[in-house]
């Protein structure tokens, strides 16, 4: 009888050890799964709250069409631009007035160091039709909360410049063209 009791106790000890080992394994697996979930949640929170800065082309048509590169923060946090690389051709475009041309051509140099709040944009005037290349390359590097983000993109400026925005002059009283065209531009922006 004593041998049976020893064997039962030994079997119970082995089973206890196996159950304890399985428990430890399950705890480790659960902790790893929780760590993955926490990392995914942190990434989702970061993606939802971080800045997203990009550049695109737009135009405003009142009586004449003016084109702009628009640098905009589409994200939910402020972005500090630490580097801005652009096609050097933008520094060589000529526009009638040499002082105005110099200022317009140098404006891209002042983007580095800008801070853009969420939803804020900066319009950079440019005569798109005078750009002798089909595509322009841009690289934007910006920081938020100690993390660095970057966007690299190519804009096809020639296709963009071939999309005119006509403003018909029908039913406009003489002398009211600018006001009517301004209102049309506002209405189109709201649509």
Indicate the SS3 state at residue 63.
coil
More confident residue, 169 or 71: 71
Query: 98: exposed, middle or buried (C-beta count within 10 Å: 0-12, 13-18, 19+)?
Result: exposed
What H or E segment, with its residue span, contains residue 186?
Answer: helix 177-190
Query: Which one of 2.60.120, 2.70.98, 3.40.190, 2.60.40 gives the CATH number of domain 53-168+177-190?
Result: 2.60.40
The dihedrals phi and psi of 90, each to the nearest 5 degrees, come to -70, -15
What does the pLDDT read at residue 169?
Answer: 59
Per-residue pLDDT tens over the stretch 94-151? 666 677 667 777 889 999 999 999 999 998 988 887 888 889 999 999 999 999 999 9
What is the Cα–Cα distance from 39 to 171, expressed in whole angstroms? 61
Domain boundaries along the sequence of the chain: 1-47, 53-168+177-190
What is the arrangement of strands in the sheet containing 147-156, beginning at the earlier edge strand? 115-116, 79-86, 135-144, 147-156
What is the spatial distance between Cα 163 and Cα 67, in angstroms, rounded to a whole number? 11
Distance (Å, whole) CA 52 – CA 150? 9
pLDDT tens-place string over residues 124-138:
988 887 888 889 999
41-72 burial code (b ≥16 CB/10 A, e <16): eeeeeeeeebbbbebebeebbbeeeebbbebb
- Predicted confidence band at 36 (pLDDT cuts at 50, 70, 90)? very high
Does residue 171 carry a pLDDT above 70? no
Confidence class of residue 188 from pLDDT cuts 50, 70 and 90? Answer: low
Distance of CA 170 to the CA centre of its chain: 40
Mean pLDDT of all residues in the chain?
A: 85
Higher pLDDT, 31 or 188: 31
């Amino acid at each position: 009888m004593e041998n049976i009791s020893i064997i039962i106790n030994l079997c119970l000890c082995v089973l206890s050890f196996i159950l304890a080992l399985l428990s430890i394994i399950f705890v480790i697996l659960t902790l790893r799964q929780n760590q993955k979930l926490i990392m995914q949640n942190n990434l989702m929170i970061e993606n939802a709250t971080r800045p997203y800065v990009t550049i695109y082309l737009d135009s405003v048509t009142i009586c004449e069409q003016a084109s702009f590169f628009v640098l905009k923060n589409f994200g939910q946090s402020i972005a500090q631009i630490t580097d801005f690389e652009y096609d050097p051709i933008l520094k060589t475009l000529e526009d009638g007035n040499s002082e105005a041309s110099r200022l317009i051509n140098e404006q891209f140099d002042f983007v580095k160091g800008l801070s853009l709040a969420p939803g804020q944009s900066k319009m950079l005037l440019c005569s798109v039709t005078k750009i002798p290349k089909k595509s322009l390359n841009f690289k934007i590097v910006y920081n938020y909360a100690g993390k660095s983000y970057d966007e690299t993109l190519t804009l096809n400026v020639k296709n963009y410049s071939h999309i005119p925005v006509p403003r018909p002059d029908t039913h406009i009283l003489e002398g009211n063209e600018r006001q009517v065209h301004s209102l049309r531009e506002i209405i189109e922006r709201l649509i």
